[in-house]
């Protein structure tokens, strides 16, 4: 549904009719190609032979039809046709026109390659029978995101046929769907699947761009992730396999989210490849100074200039295509701040593109998740995106890591932790100090790990990064990880250290999955995956980054803990409030919070900040709107000395039903019931969850 204020807002210029129907549109007389360039003075459509990509069978002059758009129609532009564009224009700062260069139509739905840097667009019909399968439309309060890599997820799965390993079809194999459903996640978020290219620097090192944050085209699925049979058949079959994957996941009730990279392209800095936007209109598509130097706010050589209407429309049209034609359920926007920078290169949360994405009717109901930073000036914007947007919460990540890891390391050295429990409690309860009341706790996408950084297991096993295999002398990757190896760097046979690490992983997962907000799990963390200390494994397409399904007993137990935690999240709405509570008011779908210390007394102001008291009892009571009344008690003990906790005595007669404890190596089968005022022993650095039930 379009927000009411959108009807009152002026129509953004990026929605001008002159920018409609860009790319190829098929008709009775073949196809019509429309391409935008604000600075070109000539453009030609070139159609190639179906087999020989060097044989141009037709060259058609394109006509300027207004608004910077060039247009041409050819009977040869039919499904399967290979084509490219040539553009000529003025020379001078910021322009890089060369009428001999073959360029990709930015809107092409398919790609074929004649060799490195040699690309042709392919006309794709895109027809597909969805069989009546609809999008799952999982509500945000019930959403659990599982971030993974198309290839890495199924590449080594023993029950996936070898021909499907690492493919779109493999991801939708029943064995993978069973894993997702048995774990309890709702939404699979895929690392970039837009067609991408590996940077020349990595090729020279014998490495590859595994993650895919180097977009070549915003409309074509990456062909290398399709099966060999689909690749041999061509782009139409690749797209059909992709849609088949989406349909099968939707049939299972699972959403498909895409990590999308619109902030920069594979054309890199000036002097890099000229495959599309740079040759069509370098000045119009990329942020530059008046002298033509790139303003690189992404750290990747270029930044797409979304203050240009055509560049912004390119992003919007791509999103519409994936959400409508391909039935994608949501998007995570890499370096989203870059997309919201204005003509002065400053971030504007009300940027026309960000507003258009939020208000677009085609995208209504689509999950919109911003990575709320880039590397430019004023690039850290966590909490500053508008209503309708959700954000990766790096402040949550840092506080949770500090509490369970670096604070514990500090306490071992200094005999006391550096801070109390107050900041951790704020993150546990939804980060109300970061997100406005209007946006609520669901604006926060909580995470402890992501593709970028240590895995969960490595986070508790390494103090420093080990990235020598990346070919950059260990200079790449974050230096500040807030990790803790618990007494030995990396692999160890010390049983005490290993047990402490396992408990630390359970504490981190427990915090993530019991916090208010939208949790995101990194694929493999539920099974204790390691990358041997590499915290920037973007360039490794190997067993280092593929999921291993050969699990030791402790890994199976960690998986069982994750299952239990996700089940408890589903069953207890007090853990997943939609709105922030307000003292003295009844706010539907909020959770009223009471806070007690280890003695069962209301937390005093001193206890919040006292680093020697890091034990907290968090009582959350739901405010029913769509579900039954629910109350939970979460007890958090944040130092390594054992403690005795007195369960709080409430005004009414209740009992505490034990549901989960991070102290257990495997989830307990029994659910003992404890009385208010009962004293419960806690081992160091542990958590325990109870459901609060009335006693009849």
DSSP run (H or E) holding 309: helix 309-324
Residue 644 among the catalytic residues:
no
Q: Which among 677, 664, 672, 12 has a CA at the least distance from the CA of 315?
A: 12
Count of C-beta atoms within a 10 Å radius of residue 577: 25
255, 334, 526, 598: which one is catalytic?
Answer: 334
Question: Cα-flanking dihedrals φ and ψ of residue 167, to 5°?
Answer: -120, 170
User: Helices in 370-522 by DSSP H: which ranges?
Assistant: 394-401, 407-414, 422-428, 456-459, 495-514
The side-by-side arrangement of strands in the sheet containing 615-622 is 591-596, 615-622, 631-637, 686-694, 654-661, 673-674
DSSP run (H or E) holding 316: helix 309-324
> How far, CA to CA in Å, does 243 sit from each of 133, 169, 248, 315?
11, 10, 9, 20
DSSP run (H or E) holding 570: helix 553-571
Q: The tokens of 565 are what?
A: 């935690």
CA pair distance 349, 436, nearest whole angstrom: 14
CA-based Rg of the chain, rounded to a whole angstrom? 27
First-to-last alpha carbon distance for the chain, in angstroms, is: 44
| Partner residues linked to 602 by β-bridges | 596
Residue 212 burial by Cβ neighbours in a 10 Å radius (0-12, 13-18, 19+): buried
Count of C-beta atoms within a 10 Å radius of residue 112: 15
3-state secondary structure of 414: helix
Residue found under tokens 């004293």:
679
CA pair distance 171, 40, nearest whole angstrom: 43
For residue 506, the Cα-to-chain-centroid distance in whole angstroms is 22
Residue 371 among the catalytic residues:
yes
296, 317, 371, 541: which one is catalytic?
Answer: 371
b or e along 653-688 (b: 16 or more beta carbons within 10 Å of the residue's beta carbon)?
ebbbbbbbbbbeeebeeeeeeeebeeebebeebbbb
Q: The tokens of 147 are what?
A: 């971030």
Question: Cα-flanking dihedrals φ and ψ of residue 175, to 5°?
Answer: -65, -40
The side-by-side arrangement of strands in the sheet containing 30-36 is 23-27, 30-36, 69-74, 63-66
Residue 19 burial by Cβ neighbours in a 10 Å radius (0-12, 13-18, 19+): buried
384: left (phi over 0), alpha (psi -120 to 50) or beta: alpha
CA pair distance 172, 245, nearest whole angstrom: 5
3-state secondary structure 338-388: HHCECCCCCECCCCHHHHHHHHCCCCCCCEEEECCECCCCCCECCCCCCCC
CA pair distance 310, 304, nearest whole angstrom: 11
Report the catalytic residues.
334, 371
């Amino acid at each position: 549904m379009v927000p009411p204020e959108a009807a009152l807002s002026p129509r953004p210029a990026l929605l001008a009719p002159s920018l409609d129907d860009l790319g190829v549109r098929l008709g009775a007389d073949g196809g019509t190609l429309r391409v935008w360039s604000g600075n070109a003075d000539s453009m030609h459509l070139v159609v190639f032979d179906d087999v020989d990509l060097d044989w141009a069978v037709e060259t058609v002059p394109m006509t300027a039809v207004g608004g910077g758009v060039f247009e041409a129609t050819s009977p040869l532009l039919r499904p399967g046709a290979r084509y490219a564009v040539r553009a000529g224009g003025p020379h001078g700062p910021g322009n890089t026109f060369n009428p001999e260069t073959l360029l990709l139509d930015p809107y092409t739905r398919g790609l074929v390659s004649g060799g490195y840097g040699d690309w042709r667009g392919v006309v794709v019909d895109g027809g597909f029978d969805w069989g009546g399968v609809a999008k799952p439309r999982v509500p945000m309060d019930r959403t659990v995101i599982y971030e993974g890599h198309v290839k890495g997820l199924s590449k080594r799965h023993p029950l996936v046929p070898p021909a499907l390993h690492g493919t779109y079809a493999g991801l939708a194999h029943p064995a993978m769907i069973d894993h997702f459903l048995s774990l309890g996640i709702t939404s699979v978020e895929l690392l970039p699947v837009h067609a991408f290219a590996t940077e020349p620097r990595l090729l020279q090192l014998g490495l590859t761009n595994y993650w895919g944050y180097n977009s070549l085209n915003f409309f074509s699925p990456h062909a290398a992730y399709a099966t060999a049979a689909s690749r041999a058949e061509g782009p139409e079959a690749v797209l059909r396999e992709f849609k088949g994957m989406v349909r099968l996941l939707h049939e299972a009730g699972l959403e498909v989210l895409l990590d999308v990279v619109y902030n920069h392209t594979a054309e890199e800095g000036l002097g890099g490849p000229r495959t599309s936007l740079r040759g069509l209109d370098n000045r119009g598509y990329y942020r530059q100074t008046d002298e033509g130097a790139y303003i690189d706010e992404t750290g990747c050589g270029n930044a797409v200039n979304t203050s240009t209407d055509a560049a912004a429309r390119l992003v919007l049209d791509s999103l519409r295509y994936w959400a409508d034609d391909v039935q994608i359920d949501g998007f995570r926007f890499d370096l989203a701040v870059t997309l919201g920078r204005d003509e002065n290169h400053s971030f504007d949360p009300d940027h026309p593109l960000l507003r258009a994405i939020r208000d677009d009717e085609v995208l209504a109901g689509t999950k919109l998740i911003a990575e709320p930073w880039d590397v430019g000036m004023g690039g850290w914007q966590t909490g500053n995106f508008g209503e309708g947007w959700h954000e990766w919460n790096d402040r949550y990540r840092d506080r949770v890591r500090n509490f369970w890891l670096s604070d514990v390391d500090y306490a071992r050295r200094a005999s006391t932790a550096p801070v109390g429990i107050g900041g951790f409690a704020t993150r546990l309860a939804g980060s109300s100090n970061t997100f406005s009341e209007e946006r609520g706790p669901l604006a926060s996408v909580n995470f402890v790990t992501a593709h970028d950084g240590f895995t969960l297991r490595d986070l508790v096993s390494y103090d420093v990064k080990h990235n020598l295999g990346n070919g950059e002398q260990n200079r790449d990757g974050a230096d500040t990880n807030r990790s803790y190896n618990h007494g030995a760097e990396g692999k160890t046979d010390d049983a005490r250290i290993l047990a402490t690490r396992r408990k630390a992983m359970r504490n981190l997962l427990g915090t993530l999955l019991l916090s208010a907000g939208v949790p995101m799990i990194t694929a493999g963390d539920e099974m204790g995956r390691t990358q041997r200390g590499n915290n920037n494994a973007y360039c490794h397409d190997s067993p280092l980054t593929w999921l291993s399904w050969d699990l030791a007993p402790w890994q199976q137990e960690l998986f069982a803990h994750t299952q239990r935690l996700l089940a408890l999240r589903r069953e207890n709405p007090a853990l997943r409030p939609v709105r922030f509570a307000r003292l003295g008011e009844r706010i539907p779908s909020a959770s009223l919070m009471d806070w007690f210390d280890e003695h069962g007394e209301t937390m005093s102001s001193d206890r919040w900040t006292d680093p020697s008291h890091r034990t907290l009892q968090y009582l959350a009571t739901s405010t029913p709107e769509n579900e039954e009344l629910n109350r939970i008690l979460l007890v958090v003990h944040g130092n390594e000395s054992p403690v005795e906790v007195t369960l709080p005595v409430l005004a009414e007669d209740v009992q505490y039903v034990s549901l989960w404890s991070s102290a257990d190596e495997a989830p307990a089968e029994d659910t003992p019931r404890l009385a208010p005022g009962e004293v419960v022993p806690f081992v160091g650095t542990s958590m325990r969850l109870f459901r609060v039930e009335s006693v009849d």
